[in-house]
Amino acid sequence: MSPTDPGPAASADREAVDAAGLRARTAALLAAHDPATTPRPDFLRARFDAGLAWVHFPEGLGGLGAPRALQAVVDAGLAAAGAPGNDPRRIGIGLGMAAPTLLQYGTEEQKRRFLRPLWTGEEVWCQLFSEPGAGSDLAALATRAVRDGDGWRVDGQKVWTSGAHLARWAILLARTDPTVPKHAGLTYFVCDMTDPGVEVRPLRQITGEAEFNEVFLTGVRIPDAHRLGAVGEGWKVARTTLMNERVAIGGSGAPGEAGEGGMLGLVTGTWRGRPELRTHDLHQRLLRLWVEAEAARLTGERLRQQLRRGRPGPEGSGLKLSFARLNQELSGLEVELLAEDGLAYGDWTMTRPEVVDFTGRDAGYRYLRAKGNSIEGGTSEVLLNIVAERVLGLPPEPRTDKDLPWKDLPR
């Protein structure tokens, strides 16, 4: 230990002081804004302004520059007082993808404009990345952004856009230079979804719902002040978004939450409630999935600790892979456990939901909806390549188009 190192005991004391300070700030917020009488939007705005939204963010941007782990101190105090939350399932794209990207690449003006209403849920966000011809190979996208005075004119089509029918803003990746290789000619923008050039059309899924959309962009004008990062560096900015997305999907929705929560809890509940349907084979499968779900939960906790120290790494791709496979296997096991009852499906009416609710629906819905887990947030095939190359250090697959100008690529 160096002479200047305070040692573990001093570090623990400093964290205890920080925790005590956060409890005091939480108490002061509750005293000034009684959750029982303060309108929900007003309370959430006050919480953001007090630095208690996400304590690891900088002061003035909803945080206090405190360790991320101390957010639990604030959340526990507010939950005990019955304070309203910001409905993270509804605004997950904003919280898990747009916010960390804005924090890393946004200007001070952009951060102050967008982060507060993003966190309070007053402005919902969506992600305009995938296209009909550029899903797994995102860098091949064709949506064009052309200079137009002090801004950009954007034309193109995006697809599989969750929540676009609710969104006020979108994070958008577009091609600004077709004469350079595909990864080099991209630029990252914030797009106003209320622009008259934005058209949102529902995509009906196997569940009957349309939580996804296709989005058409026709002459959409984006001011240069809404560009994130430098022109031509959109891929670098997008990687920050994608890494955060995979940790957010794979971690927050882990099927093996502590105490048999999430999808695992639903399946074990069915197992205990229907003893007449048990078989040795089903028992062995459940035990195996329970162990794998617990391993995924612990891996997710380790990745969240990594997040507290800085940016997420490619390991989040492995967690998201595990999440998709476990959700699909667990939902399939639940349908088998229920026998003929597992074939029932509650309602196939066309709806446009605000959130994806795995736990509040029947087993048939969970089985069908889980099929999308291996596509959304990066297909499993692409994530396997990422894990192989960036985590295991295996040789990359040959990429003959890597150095060709985008305009010369076959399409």
In the residue annotation, 245 being an active-site residue is answered as yes
Contact by Cβ (8 Å): 159, 141 = no
Contact by Cβ (8 Å): 110, 35 = no
**Relative orientation angle of helices 108-120 and 40-49, to the nearest 10 degrees:** 140
Q: Which of 211, 214, 245, 292 is catalytic?
A: 245
Residue-by-residue DSSP string for 302-344: HHHHHHHHSS--THHHHHHHHHHHHHHHHHHHHHHHTGGGGG-
Residue 311 Rama label (left phi>0; alpha psi -120 to 50; beta): beta
Distance (Å, whole) CA 187 – CA 177 = 9
Query: How many Cα atoms sit within 13 Å of 192 on the Cβ side?
Result: 14
The two structure tokens encoding residue 206: 């196997």
Report residue 193: phi and psi, to 5°. -75, -10
Contact by Cβ (8 Å): 178, 405 = yes
Task: Give the number of other Cβ atoms within 10 Å of residue 332's Cβ.
Answer: 17
- Nearest-CA neighbor of 330 among 342, 318, 319, 340? 342
Q: Which residues are catalytic?
A: 245
